[in-house]
Amino acid sequence: MKLIIITILLTTISFAQSDNFLDKINDKNKDLYLKKLKKYKNDRSYTFAEKEALKVQREDIINSKVIIIAIKKGSILVELNSNDTFITSKEVIARAFQLEDYDGYRLLIGKDNKIKYKVRADVTSNLKTMLAMYEEPRSFDPIEKKIDFNLVDKELLFNYDLTLNLGLGKSSFLNEVTNANDHFSNIFSYELAILGKWKFPIQAGFLTKYETQSAQANSISYSFDSLLLGLSFELQDQDFYIKDFNIGLKLYTELVSRLNITGPDGSETINISKNALNLYFTKPFYEVFNGDLLWGVNYSRQWIKAKASTALYSVGSRSNTNNVFALSLTYRGAWR
């Protein structure tokens, strides 16, 4: 900006007084250059035609238009009288004749209106031409970026698990019902869990589970159906002897739990109170449908209690336990 302001001032002064200024230069310095040209006539290295050509060209130069130029930093200035050279330490703004001499030099006009130096024309730039190339910055209104807000997050920060469990259960509660010792029952369950995808090492979530348990002993058959609700806490992507495994804890309580008993004395349905704790291990083994399949093993400890005593079968109201060992297959997908 400083360069542009100086240039405009110099241009205004220079071009406003160009005619008078040229007359002064011509009147004051023309004889001086003609005297120098006499030296060229005595120089045997020039032919007569060359000397006359130089004379005409030098006269044409001092009669040419005065322009304002910018001289590059590090350019060489040549003093006309002594041929001494000087190097510019910075960019210089100066006045000069537009016409170049026979060697491609441009004559410079000093502050005292004397012609003392010359410089190669190829290291100069015409400021009038440069200013003609300058364009004022264009003003514009910034484009407003429209942000679409959606009340429905397309990628929520949680995963969902669909799990099937197959296992065996050994229950002191059911042994009491069937009057059998060391009796095992078949257990099958479906489970839906929703786990967070946070930066904490332990992921937490909610789950719901439907579990059925059935067996037959001493002419008595039973089915034990439960709908459970619980919490899940999982430590994911562990690496200890086995790579990329998950371990976790689940806590359940029953929403609805019924025991259906059929035997020689008839059938009976009993409402049951049921709470459970589950420890599990899972490991991914296959990618499918933008998710992972996980195999696993788990152990559940269940506390079971009849909500009311029965007339047909020996089911007391005291709490008993049920131990379940199961294998699991889980599909884990990301909510999108």
> Helix, strand, coil: what percent of the chain each, to 5?
20, 50, 25
Checking if the pLDDT of 62 tops 90, the result is no
pLDDT of residue 54: 64
Architecture of domain 158-334: Beta Barrel (2.40)
Using pLDDT thresholds of 50, 70 and 90, give the confidence band for residue 277. Answer: very high
Global pTM value? 0.52
Q: Which residue has the higher pLDDT, 282 or 334?
A: 282
- In angstroms, the CA 229 to CA 37 distance is 112
Q: What is the DSSP string of 139-155?
A: P-PPPPPP----SS-SS
Structure tokens at 41: 């006539």
pLDDT of residue 328: 96
65: exposed, middle or buried (Cβ count in 10 Å: 0-12, 13-18, 19+): exposed
Q: Which residue has the higher pLDDT, 42 or 195?
A: 195
pLDDT of residue 205: 92
pLDDT of residue 53: 63
Return mean pLDDT, the chain.
78
pLDDT of residue 313: 63
Q: Taking each helix axis as running N to C, give the angle between helix 18-42 and helix 2-16, from 0 to 180 degrees, rounded to the nearest 10.
A: 80
Element (H, E) at 27: helix 18-42
Q: How far is CA 93 from CA 14, 89, 109, 128, 239, in A?
A: 12, 12, 11, 12, 73
Element (H, E) at 245: strand 242-263
Look at residue 292 and give its three-state secondary structure.
strand
Percent of the chain with pLDDT over 90: 28
Average pLDDT over residues 232-257: 90
Using pLDDT thresholds of 50, 70 and 90, give the confidence band for residue 113. Answer: confident
In terms of Cα–Cα distance, which of 303, 202, 310 is closest to 246?
A: 202
Structure tokens at 261: 């008993």
Q: Which residue has the higher pLDDT, 200 or 123?
A: 123
Where are the chain's structural domains?
2-132, 158-334
- In angstroms, the CA 31 to CA 21 distance is 17
Q: Which residue has the higher pLDDT, 276 or 268?
A: 276
Checking if the pLDDT of 23 tops 50, the result is no
Q: Which residue has the higher pLDDT, 167 or 176?
A: 167
- In angstroms, the CA 164 to CA 276 distance is 17
36: exposed, middle or buried (Cβ count in 10 Å: 0-12, 13-18, 19+): middle
Percent of the chain with pLDDT over 70: 73
Q: Which residue has the higher pLDDT, 109 or 148?
A: 109
Average pLDDT over residues 58-80: 87
Contact between 228 and 253 (Cβ < 8 Å)? yes
Checking if the pLDDT of 37 tops 70, the result is no
